[in-house]
Amino acid sequence: METPLTARIRPDGWPAIEEYRRSGGYEAVREAVKEMTPSEVTEAVEASNLKGRGGAGFPTGQKWSFVPMGDDAPRPKYLVCNADEMEPGTFKDRHLLEGDPHGLVEAMIVSAYALQAEVGYIFLRWAYKTARERLEQAIAEAWNAGFLGRDILGSGWSFDLQVHGSAGRYICGEETALLNALEGRRPTPRSKPPFPQVSGLFGQPTIVQNVETLYNVPHIVVRGPEWFKGLSHTDEGGTKLYGASGKVKRPGLWELPLGTPLRELLYEHAGGLRDGYAFRGCLPGGASTDFLVEEHLDVKLDFASVSEVGSRLGTGTIVVLDDRTCPVGLCANLEHFFARESCGWCTPCRDGLPWTAKLLDALERGEGRPGDLERLERHCTFLGPGMTFCALAPGAVEPLQSALRHFRDDFEAHIEHSRCTFAGGA
């Protein structure tokens, strides 16, 4: 089985430019810039069926096709890598950034060539100190080798790339909030339209792309879209960096064909639950995805299949709930997180999320009252899609609405017995 995303990652250290090039690194830059037109690169990405790995699963090539091209296109255009990984339970981008920083630099160059972007920023969270150091060194090495800067490989096209270190806050991972952050503004989300592809950073055409998504691009350019589609178990192309955390025997990350069944990920790779614990459910792709439970164990973990059963693949890093952990307590933890990270711009999110957190706390303290579950359900409706300015609150209620459905008995027992029925906590 091929693992293009992680093949260069070793247990210690990271490949500097000589080692990276010995394993075929920067061949994609040469291939794209010397042998392909920008639109041929975008067409290859479209044909590969690559879908965005940041959580939304939007087709990458289609997104690129909205960027104005040609001599009349506004200049400069921007390519921004969203390396602000902060979705609870998600730890895949850190692994790529620390293990293979040149992989991202090359991916940014090839993608920027397709878009004819002149400037690139890697929007990196503060906590990823090791990644920052390595990325900056990789960028300097790529400059010295002539892969960045003016007139790259004699093409007449120039590209400048730098790391932007951020200063916290989950909402900065929302693409329009991220653009405000980069402009030095208060990072609240922007209304869409206009979409960033047309009017983004500093009002210019901009593509914002997740780390893992970008890592796929050089491989598509060198090996071709058909090869890429062949990596997957479904018609969505490529491999996926899956992860598992919670009380499993072997928490970790694995690069597997897209569409790997949940059962295989949980039991073969993560080793199943720790001794004495049983599976109750999992968040398939970070905190803002609906729970999957026992009946979903044979679901293929690709964007379309997970949507069919009412959840989202999200980031593909599962968070496992065991039978000795209180689902109400887990929801309380999640809603406190979302309430704290709400930017406060729109009222439903700013006021609704703290309300859900307080209701869940009350249930945990044994102070739940009849009607509380219906109140929580109403919040799930009124904080849902279309009711708020951005996707934070709709994401926040996904685990809650599904927990209310799948773990209803536990919620009711908290009210009936006036206590947490899992006393002893997690």
Partner 1 sequence: MLDATLRARIDKHLGEYPTKRAACIDALMIVQEHYRWVSDEHLREVAAMLEMSAEELDGVASFYNLIYRKPVGEHVILVCDSVSCWLTGYEAVLARLKERLGVDYGQTTEDGRYTLLPMCCLGDCDHAPVMMIGEELHRDLDPDRVDAVLAAHGGS
With CB under 8 A as the contact rule, which of the stretches 45-53, 67-75, 329-337, 377-385 interacts with partner 1?
329-337
Residue 340 found at the interface with partner 1 (CB under 8 A): yes
Question: Distance between CA 110 and CA 19 in Å, rounded?
Answer: 19
With CB under 8 A as the contact rule, which of the stretches 33-41, 306-314, 317-325, 388-396 interacts with partner 1?
317-325
Helix (H) / strand (E) element for 106: namely helix 101-115
In whole angstroms, how close is the CB of 144 to partner 1 at the nearest point? 19
Question: Distance between CA 194 and CA 180 in Å, rounded?
Answer: 14
In this complex, which beta carbon is closest to partner 1, that of residue 1 or of residue 167?
Answer: 167
Residue 175 found at the interface with partner 1 (CB under 8 A): no
Residue 319 found at the interface with partner 1 (CB under 8 A): yes
Neighbours of 141 (CB within 10 A): 19
Q: What is the DSSP letter of 157?
A: -
Residue from 206, 213, 232, 245 that binds partner 1 (CB under 8 A)? Answer: 245
Are 26 and 16 in contact by the 8 Å Cβ rule? The answer is no
Residue 355 found at the interface with partner 1 (CB under 8 A): no
Residue from 146, 224, 251, 271 that binds partner 1 (CB under 8 A)? Answer: 251
Kindly write out the interface string for residues 254-283 of this chain, putting x where it contacts partner 1 by CB under 8 A and - elsewhere.
-----------------------------x
Residue 350 found at the interface with partner 1 (CB under 8 A): no
Q: Is 30 helix (H, G, I), strand (E, B) or coil?
A: helix
With CB under 8 A as the contact rule, which of the stretches 62-70, 81-89, 151-159, 351-359 interacts with partner 1?
81-89
Question: Distance between CA 239 and CA 284 in Å, rounded?
Answer: 16
Residue from 64, 170, 215, 242 that binds partner 1 (CB under 8 A)? Answer: 170
Task: Give, as ranges, the residues between 99 and 128 that touch partner 1 (CB under 8 A).
Answer: 125-128
In whole angstroms, how close is the CB of 385 to partner 1 at the nearest point? 22
CA distances (Å), 300 to each of 92, 234, 248, 305, in order?
19, 9, 20, 6
Strands 160-165 and 119-124: parallel
Residue 1 found at the interface with partner 1 (CB under 8 A): no
Residue 425 found at the interface with partner 1 (CB under 8 A): yes
> Would you state the structure tokens that stand for residue 266, as one six-digit string?
């949980």
In this complex, which beta carbon is closest to partner 1, that of residue 386 or of residue 424?
Answer: 424
In this complex, which beta carbon is closest to partner 1, that of residue 128 or of residue 228?
Answer: 128
In whole angstroms, how close is the CB of 170 to partner 1 at the nearest point? 6
Residue 325 found at the interface with partner 1 (CB under 8 A): yes
Residue from 238, 243, 281, 394 that binds partner 1 (CB under 8 A)? Answer: 243
Q: What is the spatial order of strands in the sheet that 78-83 belongs to?
A: 160-165, 119-124, 78-83, 206-210
Residue 417: φ, ψ to 5°: -95, 0
Residue from 87, 175, 212, 398 that binds partner 1 (CB under 8 A)? Answer: 87
In this complex, which beta carbon is closest to partner 1, that of residue 224 or of residue 272?
Answer: 272
In whole angstroms, how close is the CB of 127 to partner 1 at the nearest point? 6
Q: Is 38 helix (H, G, I), strand (E, B) or coil?
A: helix
Question: Distance between CA 22 and CA 31 in Å, rounded?
Answer: 16
Residue whose C-alpha is closest to residue 142's, from 100, 191, 105: 105
Residue whose C-alpha is closest to residue 174's, from 196, 155, 154, 153: 196
Residue 330: φ, ψ to 5°: -65, -45
CA distances (Å), 365 to each of 55, 405, 409, in order?
34, 21, 17
List contacts with partner 1 (CB under 8 A).
Answer: 85-91, 93-94, 125-129, 162, 164-170, 181-187, 202, 243-247, 251-253, 283, 287, 317, 319-322, 325, 330, 333-334, 337, 340-341, 343, 425-426
